Amino acid sequence: MLQERVPDLSKLVEPDRVRREVYVDPGIFELEMQRIHERYWIYCGHESQVPKPGDYYAVQIGRQPMLMVRGADRKVHVLYNRCPHRGNMMCGDRHGNTGEFFRCSYHAWTFHHDGALRTIPMMDSGYAGTRFGPDNPDCSMKKAARIESYRGFVFASLAADGPTLVEFLGESKIAFDDMCDRAPEGEVEIVPNCFRVIQHSNWKIFLENQLDALHPSVTHQSTGRAAHEVEKQIAKRAKKGEAPLSYHMLSAFATVTIDKWDNFQTLNYPYGHCILTGYMGLRPQDPDTLAYDKIMIKAYGKKRFDEIVGVNIHHVLIYPGLSVQSPLQQLRAVRPLGVDRTLTEIWHFRLKGAPEPIYRRSLAYYNLVNSPSTLVNADDLENFWKIHQGLASEGGDWVSFGRHFGRDTEKSGVVETGPNMGTSEAPMRNQMKAWAQYMGNGR
Ligand code: FES
Ligand SMILES: [Fe+2]
């Protein structure tokens, strides 16, 4: 059995370090897919991706090709992308509109948007008296065991049991609240295209980097310094004495030094979710921001507005597959493809009811910091590949997560880093603690 081919799972994770096999063993990868990605809540997409009946998007959950589709009943369904007849994939495109029903390209069986069998050609002449027909559930497309959405963000679980979505998200649901609350209409709308990047590294390497506040000042220093130099030159020349905000998005990688990152805090929750507090100072008093503030105050009142824009989050990691930067409406979904191959989908959103320049700000961050063409992402991608190469070698057995180990405080199941320890490796410890629980329990 698979279990017998992989190392003893209980020996792989210690509170402050992890064995390298966790990242490079193909047997462990298969178990992770079974016990984590194909059991717990995985983000499929946003409801606004499929506005019309028949609209669908293909999405990978663990090793399973799935479809998120809008039904004629307006409900969003998540189905296995497989024909129940002979197994043909129902939709070969990444997204599109299937019309009033799905029609398999092999022998033309058709299915309703919820996967239920609609017709089999020549059903009576070919199948009368056999087990095949509309009453046999095996003749319908299989559905994800559970589908739930939170503020328009659709998740599916391929296991019939387990926590509800809201129980699973716990405090990390603030990622979606913070994003949506910043919209005057209380909702966001997806920008219906994304960057896709395949990283030649294990999926956990990406997640561990998301709340690693120690690396930006090192890995992204050259990018930040170059942007800061240009920012200063523009400021000197500009009439108002300031470079556009987009320069700040990059220069912050140099100007926010390690001691400043230490001022932030990490909050670490059950199921491996983590939050990094701190906001990059993206609330200037320029006319665009002031116009937005006015619309928000009209929509929510001053008191609620202050609460909304005062939410102090840099990053929320929703284990095992989502990284959200809510103040800038960015989201990255992680889709493991193999032990050393990981797809990330990089999406961004519009705040409904917000003026266009506020959207442009989100777009600038999307392009400058999160896109595959930016130096910031390239810096990280190079590290991810090099980390995987190092861990695949026999140059050492352990990965260390010891920074500020033993100095965390725990209150009602939430692990907080101590004061001035924002660069703690507590988020990585939290992720691996959850990983060991998922893998040990199998649920
Ligand atoms: S495989 Fe789909 S109809 Fe035959
Ligand atoms: Fe980075």
Q: Measure the CA–CA gap between 330 and 363, rounded to whole angstroms.
A: 9
**255 pLDDT tier (thresholds 50, 70, 90):** confident
From atom 1 of ligand 1, which residue's Cα is the shortest distance away? Answer: 86
The residue type found at 183 is A
Give residues (CB < 6 A) around ligand 1. Answer: 83, 85-86, 88, 104, 106-107, 109
**239 pLDDT tier (thresholds 50, 70, 90):** low
Distance 305 CA to ligand 2 centre (A): 31
Interhelix angle 203-210/426-441, nearest 10 degrees: 140
* Ligand nearest, relative to CA of residue 380: 2
Instruction: Name every residue whose Cβ is closer than 8 Å to that of residue 296 and which is 6 or more positions away in sequence.
Output: 182, 184, 305, 308, 309
Higher pLDDT, 323 or 441: 323
DSSP secondary structure of 359-394: HHHHHHHIIIIISTTSHHHHHHHHHHHHHHHHHHSS
When the pLDDT of each residue in the chain is averaged and rounded to a whole number, the result is 93
Residues with CB under 5 A from ligand 2 (ion): 380
From atom 4 of ligand 1, which residue's Cα is the shortest distance away? Answer: 107
| Nearest ligand 1 atom, CA 104 | 2
Query: pLDDT digits over 405-437, tens only?
Result: 999 999 888 999 988 899 999 999 999 999 999
Pull the structure tokens for residue 88: 């043909």
Residue 262 has pLDDT above 60, yes or no: yes
Tell me if residue 311 falls in helix, strand or coil: coil
| Nearest ligand 1 atom, CA 83 | 2
Residue 303's CB: how many other CB atoms inside 10 A?
9
Pull the structure tokens for residue 61: 């959950």
Distances (CA, A) of 59 to 45, 52, 66, 383: 8, 18, 5, 27
| Nearest ligand 1 atom, CA 108 | 3
Query: pLDDT digits over 277-309, tens only?
Result: 876 556 778 899 999 999 999 999 999 999 999
Residues 157 and 144: beta-carbon distance below 8 Å: yes
Distance 346 CA to ligand 2 centre (A): 14
| Nearest ligand 1 atom, CA 86 | 1
Residue 443 has pLDDT above 50, yes or no: no
From atom 3 of ligand 1, which residue's Cα is the shortest distance away? Answer: 107
Query: pLDDT digits over 213-227, tens only?
Result: 999 999 999 999 999
Interhelix angle 302-309/287-300, nearest 10 degrees: 120
> Which DSSP state fits 33?
I
Q: Measure the CA–CA gap between 321 and 203, rounded to whole angstroms.
A: 9
Tell me if residue 268 falls in helix, strand or coil: strand
Among 104, 122, 138, 141, say which to mutate for ligand 1: greatest number of ligand atoms within 8 Å of CB: 104
DSSP secondary structure of 91-108: --SSEEE-TTSEE-TTT-
Pull the structure tokens for residue 280: 């990059």
